[in-house]
Amino acid sequence: MTQNHHARAPAKINLTLHIEGRRIDGYHELTSLVAFAGAGDLLSFAPDELFSLEVSGPTAIEAGDGGDNLVARVERALRAEKPGLQSGAFHLVKRLPVAAGIGGGSSDAAAALRLLAAANGLSLSDPALYEAARRTGADVPVCLNPRAKFMRGIGERLGPALKLPPLPAVLINPRVPVETKAVFHKLGLKPGQSLGYGPHPAIADGMDFETLIRALKKGRNDMEDAACVIAPIVGHVLATLAGARGCRLARMSGSGATCFALFDSCRQAGAAAKAIKAAHPEWWVKPTLLR
């Protein structure tokens, strides 16, 4: 019997997202402190002669199971790097909201690379994995090793994994998909234009909770205003989180529409999530730990 292997694909949260400017090729240079949530998708894999993908779960329809799924795209990208790659049957349990600013598809692709690496005896530091990740999407490299770190350039320059205190959080997605490309476009930067907002607040490895919260408050998500124009409900989500009892910081993740709030304790995050879900049963509301 063929053995099944599993990998979690956690949601990516941009604790900060500073846009530095726009490259001549149209992509945006950024600096972002990224963390990962307890909430995520689940991917399983059984080696087989041919690639196949089955998708189930609450957001399976939106993600799709065809050749455009990021799991299929990353498998092709790795096969181009490693001809003769042992592929197989993937099953994705899709739970994260899609087109939501939390890199669900990117994290699924990164999880697929980890599973393919294990099946092919490749080290996680094999350059072919990084190359396949980079070619598949700007957020895929940071998801390869889902631990808090800085991401720079267009997402291809990664800092070392950072030891941050676990952050009790609530994630909210109002179930309005937001296209990443449209939010970048709304920023209105010209190719070659750079922004001089100054350096990112210092974040040190092993920083304590209070110091980290103070530093994060000095940071921003520069895509928030543009996302609020495209999807005004983001402003409502941010105000709801900011008004929750015990909220220390409320901010959007990535290009939205998902926003997060940080709390002193999991108990407070759980209570806030419960109250918000009761008031907005139509929203995706998730208490979780970011690390």
Ligand X SMILES: Nc1ncnc2c1ncn2[C@@H]1O[C@H](COP(=O)(O)OP(=O)(O)OP(=O)(O)O)[C@@H](O)[C@H]1O
Ligand Y SMILES: C[C@](O)(CO)[C@H](O)COP(=O)(O)OP(=O)(O)OC[C@H]1O[C@@H](n2ccc(N)nc2=O)[C@H](O)[C@@H]1O
**CA 77 to each of CA 14, 28, 113, 216, 277: distance values in angstroms, whole numbers, following the listed order:** 25, 23, 10, 35, 40
Crossing angle between the packed helical segments 70-81 and 127-136, to the nearest 10 degrees = 140
For 262, other C-beta atoms within 10 Å of its C-beta total 25
Q: How far apart are CA 91 and CA 55, in angstroms?
A: 6
Least CB distance to ligand Y at residue 211 (A): 24
* Interaxial angle between packed helices 104-119 and 70-81, expressed in degrees from 0 to 180 and rounded to the nearest 10: 40
28 binds ligand Y (CB under 6 A): yes
28 binds, among ligand Y, ligand X, none (CB under 5 to 8 A by kind): ligand Y
Residues 256, 17 contacting (CB under 8 angstroms): no
**Strand pairing of 157-158 and 167-173?**
unpaired
Does position 181 interact with ligand Y (CB under 6 A)? The reply is: yes
The interface partner of residue 248, options being ligand Y, ligand X, none and the CB cut-off 5 to 8 Å by kind, is none
Range in contact with ligand X (rule: CB under 6 A) among 22-30, 105-113, 164-172, 190-198: 105-113
Going by C-alpha positions, the residue among 28, 79, 41, 8 that lies closest to residue 183 is 28
Q: Which one of residues 255, 258, 268, 288 is an interface residue with ligand Y (CB under 6 A)?
A: 255
**CA end-to-end span of the chain:** 36
Residue 62 C-beta: closest distance to ligand Y, Å: 15
Q: Show contacts with ligand X in window 108-137 (CB under 6 A).
A: 108
Could you tell me the sign of the dihedral formed by the alpha carbons of 175, 179, 182, 187, in that order?
Answer: positive
- The least CB distance from residue 159 to ligand X, in Å, is 18
Q: Does 101 bind ligand X (CB under 6 A)?
A: yes
Minimum CB distance to ligand Y, residue 219 (Å): 14
Residue 266 corresponds to which amino acid? C
Does position 154 interact with ligand Y (CB under 6 A)? The reply is yes
Can 217 be counted among the known catalytic residues?
no
Q: Which stretch binds ligand Y (CB under 6 A): 39-47, 179-187, 203-211, 257-265?
A: 179-187
**By CB under 6 A, residue 16 contacts ligand X:** no
Q: Which stretch binds ligand X (CB under 6 A): 92-100, 198-206, 263-271, 281-289?
A: 92-100
Q: Which is nearer to ligand Y, 142 or 164 (CB)?
A: 142
Binding site for ligand X (CB under 6 A): 63-64, 68-71, 98-106, 108, 139, 180, 254-255
Q: Which residues are annotated as a binding site?
A: 97-107
